[in-house]
Structure 1
Amino acid sequence: MNNQTPNSKLRTVNVMRYVMPLREGGSLPALADADDGFSYVLKFRGAGQREKALIAELLGGEIARLLGFKVPELVFANLDEAFGRSEGDEEIQDLLKGSQGLNLALHFLSKALTFDPGATLVDPLLASKIVWLDAYITNVDRTFRNTNMLIWNRELWLIDHGASFLFHHSWDNWQKHAEGPFPTIKTHVLLPYASELEVVDLEFKKTLTRAVIRTIVDLIPDEWILASRDVEDAEEGRAIYESFLIKRLEFSGVFIKEAEDARKALI
């Protein structure tokens, strides 16, 4: 996988048509058509963990892209205040009303297949890279129950990073989260194959410089940061995300040891 240049700006599209909900659950993502002629998986700011899930999706997806993983294009998706008024389902109509303004969407990979760990082998280096990424961003949601990986055009794609960055649900403890292990890694679907974590650590720490981390953090819209009222200034919020990511790199040995110990218990 070749390293990528971090996006300094995301495209913005206007949502034209709500097509269908994609699965049950609190977040209720949907398939939607936009004014650029493409279809997207739309993540709503009015659902579940609200803007924090969008921030995690944005940061996690763009960090993954920077590290060379295949990730569907992320775009900002504008939802007009008139959108959804004709929607018959009251729950969906409330969701759409509560999501007016800027949302996040991923390019829809038509005919993609859900990754099946029993049917597709992942080599140790790639498995280690994915496990490292998820331990780094504290992503709890890449398990056998929900792999959040797709096979599209015979290649592995990563999706759904909205359950990452656990610290931002309790801002006061961000340093503790940054320096600590990630016990949930024991449930990672690819952990049994992740035998190259130390090799990956050296490679990824060279790529994740302070400058590129800052470029990714700068993508977060002010309104998403301020919506939760955890900080009074959007730049203060960005600075915390940046500091978390940098300090997490400094303490990567902690989460690597946690992953290696959990792996030894499995094999």
Structure 2
Amino acid sequence: MLREVTATRYITPLREGGSLPGLVEADDLGTYVLKFRGAGQGRKTLVAEVLCGELARRLGLRVPPLVTIELDPVLGLGEPDREVQELLRSSGGANLGMGFLSGALGFDPLAFSVDPREAGRIVWFDALVNNVDRSWRNPNLLMHRGDLWLIDHGATMIWHHNWPGADTSAARAYDAAEHALARFAPDVASAAATLSPLVTEDLLAEVTAEIPDAWLVDEPGFDTPDDLRRAYARPLLARAAVVHQRITGIEEAK
């Protein structure tokens, strides 16, 4: 399971995100971007953040540390914004925290260059989890101390919004034409050769075990959180072996 911390101070809302995340301090003295379980996208967004973030980390990609943040709604009593107050009131309990990278810059594909091998690894990973939110319009990438970091994986694995059609949805191609890194000739073939063998049943079991039970209970069609964990792993395991053949819209490095 993810490390657990408790929020001690709500600092400010972050207006960049559609779900209105907030910046908080916690009892471990860390500063985190908090994503609310009470936001409009619901707990499935938090599940996707954990599964994809921790999978990316184990595949060697840079993702800020993730924690669960216990939130007491009383922290929002002094917040003047009514929308933020409502988020705080509706999100008591376990929420998701992402380590705040102080001084990081939003990635601009016109201002930074990316090596084709690194670009290929990120494009391959995004294809694996079907990330539809890494476009040049909204890269969800940060430059921090010269390195590229991945953030915001809530808009991935669209099949978990319709489990009966999950296998069909997960078999579809991935259009990378508007991917933020498409212009850097991503070496997807090299990425697939390196990363695909790493995506095993054991690895996916380890990653899905990081998801708190509270975000998995009462899912229609599943008796236990572990049943749902296996449902998350199954399409990813199948997709990992072939997804490089289903990426369209880019010209790979030669």
The Cα shift of 1:35 comes to 0.9
More helix by share: 1
The Cα shift of 1:230 comes to 5.5
Distance 1:85 1:232 in 2: 38
1:219 equivalenced with 2:207 (yes/no): no
Q: Work out whether residues 61 and 149 of structure 2, in 8 Å CA contact, stay in contact via their aligned partners in 1.
A: yes
Indicate the residue corresponding to 1:42 in structure 2. 34
- Give the 3-state SS of the residue equivalent to 2:134 in structure 1: coil
**Offset from partner CA, 1:101-134 (integer Å, 9 cap, x none):** 1011111011111111111110110010000000
CA RMSD of aligned residues (A): 1.7
Q: Work out whether residues 171 and 239 of structure 2, in 8 Å CA contact, stay in contact via their aligned partners in 1.
A: yes
The Cα shift of 1:66 comes to 0.7
**Offset from partner CA, 1:40-91 (integer Å, 9 cap, x none):** 0001101121101001111111111111111110001011243323323221
Indicate the residue corresponding to 1:164 in structure 2. 156
- Give the 3-state SS of the residue equivalent to 1:244 in structure 2: helix
Indicate the residue corresponding to 1:249 in structure 2. 240
Alignment of 1:54-65 (within 5 A): 54-65=46-57
Which of 192, 202, 206 is residue 201 of structure 1 equivalent to?
Answer: 192
The alignment of Structure 1 onto Structure 2 pairs a total of residues equal to 252
Q: 1:120 to 1:57 in 2, by over 3 A?
A: same
Q: Work out whether residues 73 and 90 of structure 2, in 8 Å CA contact, stay in contact via their aligned partners in 1.
A: no
| TM-score under structure 1 length normalisation | 0.89
Distance 1:118 1:80 in 2: 42
Unaligned 5+ segments in structure 2 are: none
| TM-score under structure 2 length normalisation | 0.93
Q: 1:223 to 1:45 in 2, by over 3 A?
A: same
The Cα shift of 1:223 comes to 1.5
Name the % identity.
Answer: 42
The Cα shift of 1:160 comes to 0.8
Q: Work out whether residues 70 and 158 of structure 1, in 8 Å CA contact, stay in contact via their aligned partners in 2.
A: yes
**Offset from partner CA, 1:180-206 (integer Å, 9 cap, x none):** 2123x2221112324421121111012
Q: Work out whether residues 51 and 227 of structure 1, in 8 Å CA contact, stay in contact via their aligned partners in 2.
A: no
Alignment of 1:248-267 (within 5 A): 248-252=239-243, 256-259=244-247, 261-264=248-251
Aligned AA (1:181): A
Q: Work out whether residues 77 and 104 of structure 1, in 8 Å CA contact, stay in contact via their aligned partners in 2.
A: yes
Distance 2:163 2:119 in 1: 30
The Cα shift of 1:231 comes to 3.0
Indicate the residue corresponding to 1:79 in structure 2. 71
Which of 140, 161, 168 is residue 132 of structure 2 equivalent to?
Answer: 140
**Offset from partner CA, 1:157-184 (integer Å, 9 cap, x none):** 111111111111111111112222123x
**Offset from partner CA, 1:218-258 (integer Å, 9 cap, x none):** 11112111255453421221110011211112332xxx234
- Give the 3-state SS of the residue equivalent to 2:83 in structure 1: helix
Which of 96, 99, 112 is residue 120 of structure 1 equivalent to?
Answer: 112
